[in-house]
Amino acid sequence: MRTGIIHDDLFLQHETGPFHPERKERLISIHEGLRSYAHSNQLHRLKPRLAAESELRLIHPPPYIRNIQATAGKESTQLDPDTVASARSCEVAQYAVGSLLVLIDALLAGEIDNGFALVRPPGHHAEPNRVMGFCLFSNIAIGSAYALQKHKLSRVLVIDFDVHHGNGTQKAFYHRGDVLYISTHQFPLYPGTGDYPEIGEGAGKGFTVNFPLPSRTGDAIYNLVFEKVVAPIAQAYRPDLILVSAGYDAHVDDPLAGMEVTAEGFASISQTIVGLADKLCGGKVIFLLEGGYHLKGLQMSVLKSLDVLTGQKQPSRRWKPDASFEAVLEKSRRTFGSYWKF
């Protein structure tokens, strides 16, 4: 497998301060893990590029972009209670978006088989008109719109397994059917969105699929949701491309949430997603880093996903359904069972 990867020290130039959860040490930890990664010979390193303003405008209107650009050169700008920009943050955020676009272009040109953009700042909380939750530009939403427009795709599937609901991605496509947004997340938790009734509106009705999961949910229920519900929905949708908001803050040791997913659990989730890509769209899948704030847990989980992307065989697991999973299944069927069969 040729797994395209983008990781670069320029993403360390987004300075949030030593006590902010979304700090540069997150990427430093991943970079350290990559130095001794056993399958590095299968990683095809690509260079990031700056996203053009016209590309940012696929999701964000000009006044929003100007607001972010106004932070350039300033030591620190507090954009919302959780989100800070430093002198180079706008530039770095544009490179984060551009990195995903580089991987999309390379994937659809047949130069790589799949990819992983190890970038920051994250993006899935940034709404078209609102900075939120450590995020400046809506990276994966822009990437989805870009793939649809430039490469003339018909359907993009976005899977978001970050522990926090991707309100920005959801809002960008809430009235559209050419992007199917599927999210698993702890609920209730920041940002407070992503409950079952949020299924889209108008032409987008049924194309937002949320799985709000209770705290302490672990490997078994997460993987059963992906195998028993996400997989058949994806198969019915038949996307041309799968983009993954890969947040690892559902990890059992993460300080910002209360889930109990292990690195091996993330490997199994990744295996299901990559298997779906192989079956539905010629393997066309790209992971994009979102959250994950326990440094060792983040490093181990990212490397496990890379194992899957590079074609390393994972141990077969049989997850046993329990009452908690049956409750999720029943609520899912009541909410969007008329749109998708599973």
CA 45 → CA 106, 111, 115, 117, 277, distances in Å? 11, 12, 10, 10, 21
Instruction: Kindly state the helix (H) or strand (E) to which residue 44 belongs, with its residue range.
Output: strand 43-45
The dihedral of CA 107, 108, 110, 114: what is its sign?
positive
Helices and strands counted in the chain (H then E)? 11, 10
Residue 313: Cβ within 10 Å count: 8
7, 14, 60, 125: which one is catalytic? 125
* Alpha carbon distance 56, 153 (integer Å): 19
CA 124 → CA 67, 117, 141, 271, 281, distances in Å? 18, 14, 8, 22, 23
150 token code pair: 């430039």
Among this protein's residues, is 125 annotated catalytic? Answer: yes
Report the largest interatomic distance among the alpha carbons of the chain, rounded to a whole angstrom.
Answer: 54
Radius of gyration, alpha carbons of the chain? 18
User: Looking at the annotation, which residues are catalytic?
Assistant: 125
